[in-house]
Amino acid sequence: SQKIEQNSEALNIQEGKTATLTCNYTNYSPAYLQWYRQDPGRGPVFLLLIRENEKEKRKERLKVTFDTTLKQSLFHITASQPADSATYLCALEGGSQGNLIFGKGTKLSVKP
């Protein structure tokens, strides 16, 4: 079955720098991959979806890449701000019924 690994449990960076989060999967390439943001005590909020035929997708300060050869997605936040501090989850189609499976998340802390 498909497995997802988000390599870092936590990432600390300085305000203004670019944060880069990694999501790796182990088996077949999914048709799409999604990224969510989760704040403490709240449900995840959808950020971006990237399909297997797309190399890169952008939304404001966010950029997601999808490399099916490396079986990896990178999630970038440019010009990071303390308000970007949260846990970021990647998710992809991988369940036995085609449902989403989620990584464990990376907790990002942006220091002023």
Residue (16 or 95) nearer to another protein, CB: 95
Nearest-approach distance from CB 101 to another protein, in angstroms: 8
For residues 10-49, which are near another protein according to CB under 8 A? Answer: 31-32, 34, 36, 41-46, 49
**Contact with another protein (CB under 8 A): which of 77, 89, 108, 110?**
89
For residues 47-66, which are near another protein according to CB under 8 A? Answer: 49
Nearest residue to 89 via CA among 27, 21, 28: 21
What is the C-alpha to C-alpha distance for residues 112 and 98, in angstroms, rounded to an integer?
A: 41
Nearest-approach distance from CB 75 to another protein, in angstroms: 15
What is the C-alpha to C-alpha distance for residues 83 and 104, in angstroms, rounded to an integer?
A: 21
**Contact with another protein (CB under 8 A): which of 53, 69, 98, 112?**
98
Judged by CB under 8 A, how many residues of this single chain contact another protein?
24
Nearest residue to 66 via CA among 49, 80, 81, 82: 49
Residue 24 burial (CB < 10 Å; 0-12/13-18/19+)?
A: middle
